[in-house]
Amino acid sequence: MRKNRKDKRGFSLTEVLLAVGTLAIGTLLVAGVFPVAIYFAADSTEQTIAAVVANEAFAKIRIYGVDLSKVKHDSCVPYADVRVTPGEVEDIFLYPSTNEVVDKRYYWSALCRLTGAGSREVQATVFVCRNVAGAGGPVEPAPVLVKPDSGLTDRLQIINPTLFWVINEGYSLVDHKTGMVYKVEEKYPPPENGLIRLDKPWQGSHDLVGERVWVVGPATPGGRSPCIAVYQEVIRF
């Protein structure tokens, strides 16, 4: 009996190469998902921890108090300069706040301002940061002079060109007078050097001489900008 030759046919070299190529592309696509997933998982974890640190920070501000005579309604001051507790209590800014000798992986700092003249309500803006390379201690945001752009309400111009590098996309800005928090959406290269676009219209002073804002960068792995999140709350004393 004559056998059918078609029953003994295998895969051709072209078919094998196509299958291997498809498998390789699929494997690369799946492998590329893992770094992204790890990044978002780490970011989610840090955001959760940041919320806990911020709640503790607001509680400590209530406990250790604020010297209202040193706080103004038209400007922000670092909490480290207005707290009532004696200066030797420095570990209040570190987290976790335990007496055990453990790695303090996070810390917080804050800016304070009165909600109005003669008010006993303090607007506290808390910055939760990583304790990068064991540096420890609160690091206040950097002050930078800006002025609003004459044409667009969501643009600011950095007055000192040498400080243009201090602000980048994703950074947070706190208006020195109003305490309002903004996010930098975009920074424009030359010839528009010195202009940044905010996530909402500028509500602060329109003095063309310049207004101070507090700048803090987002957390970057191994970078110099360790801030994870910014929180704000009004506390009555």
Q: What is the DSSP string of 93-123?
A: GEES--SS-----EEEEEEEEESSTT--EEE
List per-block mean pLDDT (blocks of 10 residues) for the chain, which spans 237 residues. Answer: 58 76 78 69 82 92 91 88 72 78 80 90 90 57 79 83 76 87 85 81 77 73 66 92
pLDDT at 225: 54
7's tokens = 């029953």
Give the pLDDT score at 58.
95
The reported pTM is 0.73
The pLDDT value recorded for residue 132 is 64
SS3 194: coil
pLDDT at 198: 92
Residue-range domain boundaries for the chain: 41-236
- CB count within 10 Å of CB 185 equals 13
At 5, the amino acid letter reads: R
The CA-based angle 194-198-201, given to 5 degrees, is 115
State residue 156's pLDDT score.
87
**Closest to 91 (Cα-Cα) out of 80, 82, 81:** 80
